[in-house]
Amino acid sequence: METMILTREDVESLIRMDEAMNAVEEAFKLYALGKAKMPPKVYLEFENGDLRAMPAHLMGYAGIKWVNSHPSNPERGLPTVMALMILNSPETGFPLAVMDATYMTSLRTGAAGGVAAKYLARKDSRVFGFVGCGIQAYFQLEALRRVFKIEEVKAYDIREEAASRFVKYCGEKDISASARSIEDVCRCDVLVTATPSREPVVKAEWIEKGTHINAIGADAAGKQELDFEILKKAKIVVDDLEQAKHGGEINVAISRGVIKVEDIHATLGEVVAGLKTGRESEEEITIFDSTGLAIQDVAVAKIVYENALKSNRGIKIEFFRI
Ligand SMILES: NC(=O)c1ccc[n+]([C@@H]2O[C@H](COP(=O)([O-])OP(=O)(O)OC[C@H]3O[C@@H](n4cnc5c(N)ncnc54)[C@H](O)[C@@H]3O)[C@@H](O)[C@H]2O)c1
């Protein structure tokens, strides 16, 4: 029996954002309904980074993503994050595929942002703000523009060239965009924060009533992008309570007693499955606290694998003779 090997180039050509969004939405729902398994992430820590094992079982597949985070890698000419996914048959455990999961991580994170905004942002949202214009900003934009009619993008990054590049990209997609001050960017209908910050970068007085925030950047202990005051007055929806408590946007506020676990409104899956409400008024401020879940990775890997089978893409290897 053969195992399929798929490179990043293969993965990129085998899945579209709309397919990823459907898969991720379904994964959140199944998880909330108890129809998906996801043991906690395992961290293997080093002096200069870490490796994380992220297993999950859903939609007829099992899989594990093995992903690093080494912030000083760019100095060595290597990316900060590199990931591989092993996709197995839950029935036999056979490794069906080994694939690049670096692109998949960006794609599924963008997809989750799009799904969250679909349930939590005002339907008439037109102005979109981006604080942090690195890789994730592009994937968030790609997902959001499949849900909303984006009329204007406002962009801020501490590196001006990152904001300019993002503005140019929006222009290429026929979206009117400009680089602005951070205060100005925060005055929008949907705000995406995607920085690696460990200090709040967004102040409460900049956030108007009715804003939805996709808080993407905080995905490890000690990371934080939003002022505590925003968390105190917003309706907070997390991807997973355990992960968010330890490493999401809420982690610092919870560890310092600024907010309590009971203040968290719901998981995104509970909202998607209709077990909890999403946005209830035009006025409320909503936050999606994203940490990134293994169920998202496996749901996306399933589509990649099935599309690869259909199009006969990828290399096939007999790892062991049976
Ligand atoms: N929630 C998830 O599932 C998930 C998934 C992927 C990445 N992330 C996190 O999202 C963050 C962004 O990831 P990325 O891949 O886009 O990284 P990136 O390095 O490509 O982009 C980050 C951008 O933020 C900018 N930035 C840094 N500090 C800033 C500040 N104080 N104000 C404004 N801009 C600032 C940088 O200049 C850079 O352009 C990281 O913290 C990453 O760990 C989360």
| Largest Cα span, the chain | 64
Q: What is the pLDDT of residues 230-249, one digit of tens each?
A: 999 999 999 999 999 999 99
Q: How much is the average pLDDT of 117-141?
A: 97
Helix, coil or strand: residue 302: helix
Say yes or no: CB of residue 140 within 6 Å of ligand 1. Answer: no
Pairing of the two strands 83-88 and 95-100: antiparallel
Matching residue, tokens 């490794």: 95
Residues 6+ apart with CB under 8 A from 190: 117, 121, 125, 127, 128, 129, 144, 148, 211, 212, 213, 214
Percent share of the chain, pLDDT over 70: 100
* pLDDT at residue 126, as a whole number: 98
* pLDDT at residue 34, as a whole number: 98
Confidence of residue 3 (pLDDT cuts 50, 70, 90): very high
Percent share of the chain, pLDDT over 90: 96
Say yes or no: CB of residue 216 within 6 Å of ligand 1. Answer: yes
pLDDT at 164 over 90: yes
Our mutation pick for probing the ligand 1 site, out of 38, 157, 182, counting the most ligand atoms within 8 A of Cβ, is 157
Which domains does the chain carry?
3-105+295-317 (3.30.1780.10), 122-292 (3.40.50.720)
User: What phi and psi, each to the nearest 5 degrees, are found at residue 57?
Assistant: -135, 120
CA 174 – CA 169 distance, rounded (Å): 9
Q: Which residues are catalytic?
A: 65
Residues 6+ apart with CB under 8 A from 84: 65, 66, 67, 98, 99, 100, 101
Helix, coil or strand: residue 316: strand
* pLDDT at residue 71, as a whole number: 85
Using the mean position of ligand 1's atoms as its centre, give its distance from the Cα of residue 126 in Å: 23
* pLDDT at residue 47, as a whole number: 95
Using the mean position of ligand 1's atoms as its centre, give its distance from the Cα of residue 135 in Å: 7
Say yes or no: CB of residue 109 within 6 Å of ligand 1. Answer: yes
pLDDT at 321 over 90: no
* pLDDT at residue 159, as a whole number: 96
C-beta of residue 79 within 8 angstroms of C-beta of residue 134 = no
Q: Which two tokens stand for residue 243?
A: 């992960």
Q: How much is the average pLDDT of 300-307?
A: 98
CA 14 – CA 257 distance, rounded (Å): 45
Q: What is the pLDDT of residues 83-100, one digit of tens each?
A: 999 999 999 999 999 999
Q: Which atom of ligand 1 is nearest to the CA of 201?
A: 31
CA 95 – CA 224 distance, rounded (Å): 37
* pLDDT at residue 239, as a whole number: 98
Annotated binding site for NAD(+): 108, 135-136, 157-159, 217-219, 223, 290
Q: How much is the average pLDDT of 133-159?
A: 97
Using the mean position of ligand 1's atoms as its centre, give its distance from the Cα of residue 174 in Å: 24
* pLDDT at residue 322, as a whole number: 81
